[in-house]
């Protein structure tokens, strides 16, 4: 069982590491190119038409995966801070949302910590990437990303044509004008992919974090008030916030 001074000794380094990793996660979500993917395959109009190789871009970042990584990062920080604050024996209160006790018997110092963390989490969730509302998305289990229905578009090629302006005579050659006509030579089949999230999912997460923020503030107001027992608080918090 660790001592309180040991917990305090490592808390600062864990906080620093957590902030660095959270910054990295946040930056990834602000790069739309990493969240987007596409496949295009070409079919010529006839067997003798030109062939074009398929084109594809892979989704490199998935918002749900970043949430999972963020949860893992923050859980360690939440737990070590809880371990320290529980040991300090400050005033305590329950954090209750809609009649459900999310965390029981919480020291007021940890409630203050939670308030700050939930403010940051609210900012994080508010900036989560949302699927383009102009498209209809279905989740593609095989790709593990959201995908649109395939869209077929045409591939055209400019073909030279001759327009005879004046027929040939014994005195003069024919007057011919060359023009170009766009002729369909094949079809592109396009599917868009995205690692973003449905707007309803982000809205639900925002509602949860706001409810938890209110509950923590209320608990802090209600709070009255050495070997350290390790606390596992992070999992409970993030199960409530992010679990489907």
Annotate 176-233 with three-state secondary structure. Answer: EEEEEEEEEEEEEEEEEEECCECHHHHHHHHHHHHHHHHHHHHHHHHCCCCECCCCCC
pTM, entire model: 0.69
The verdict on residue 222 lying in a domain is: yes
What is the DSSP-derived secondary structure letter of residue 139? E
The verdict on residue 138 lying in a domain is: no
- Rounded to the nearest integer, the mean pLDDT of the chain is 87
The verdict on residue 152 lying in a domain is: no
- 40, 44, 45, 50, 159 from 53: Cα distances, Å: 9, 11, 15, 10, 22
- Note the pLDDT of residue 186: 94
Q: Is the pLDDT of residue 226 over 50?
A: no
* Structure confidence by residue, pLDDT tens digits, 103-122: 998 887 889 899 999 999 99
Residue-range definition of the domain harbouring residue 226: 4-30+62-130+196-242
- Note the pLDDT of residue 163: 81
The verdict on residue 226 lying in a domain is: yes
Estimate to the nearest angstrom the gap between the alpha carbon of 239 and the chain centroid. 18
The verdict on residue 225 lying in a domain is: yes
Q: What is the total count of domains within the chain? A: 1
The verdict on residue 45 lying in a domain is: no
Between CA 67 and CA 176 the distance in angstroms is 67
Q: Is the pLDDT of residue 230 over 90?
A: no
What is the DSSP-derived secondary structure letter of residue 98? T
The verdict on residue 181 lying in a domain is: no
The verdict on residue 190 lying in a domain is: no
- 66, 123, 211 from 41: Cα distances, Å: 30, 40, 47
* Structure confidence by residue, pLDDT tens digits, 120-165: 999 999 999 999 999 999 999 998 999 999 999 999 999 988 887 7
């Amino acid at each position: 069982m660790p001592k309180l001074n040991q917990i305090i000794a490592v808390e600062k380094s864990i906080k620093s590491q957590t902030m660095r990793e959270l910054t990295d996660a946040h930056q990834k979500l602000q790069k739309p190119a990493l969240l987007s993917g596409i496949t295009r395959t070409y079919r010529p109009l006839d067997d003798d038409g030109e062939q074009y190789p398929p084109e594809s871009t892979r989704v490199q970042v998935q918002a749900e995966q970043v949430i999972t990584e963020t949860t893992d990062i923050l859980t360690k920080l939440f737990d070590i801070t809880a371990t320290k604050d529980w040991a300090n024996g400050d005033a305590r209160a329950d954090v209750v949302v809609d009649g459900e006790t999310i965390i029981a018997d919480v020291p007021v110092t940890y409630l203050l910590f939670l308030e700050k963390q939930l403010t940051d989490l609210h900012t994080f969730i508010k900036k989560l990437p949302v699927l383009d509302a102009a498209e209809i998305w279905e989740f593609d289990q095989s790709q593990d990303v959201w995908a649109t229905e395939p869209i077929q578009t045409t591939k055209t090629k400019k073909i030279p044509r001759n327009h005879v302006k004046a027929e040939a005579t014994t005195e003069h050659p024919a007057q011919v004008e060359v023009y170009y006509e766009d002729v369909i030579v094949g079809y592109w089949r396009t599917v868009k992919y995205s690692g973003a999230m449905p707007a309803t999912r982000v809205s639900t997460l925002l509602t949860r974090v706001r409810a938890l923020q209110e509950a923590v503030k209320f608990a802090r107001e209600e709070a009255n008030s050495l070997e350290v027992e390790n606390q596992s608080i992070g999992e409970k918090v993030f199960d409530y916030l992010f679990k489907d």
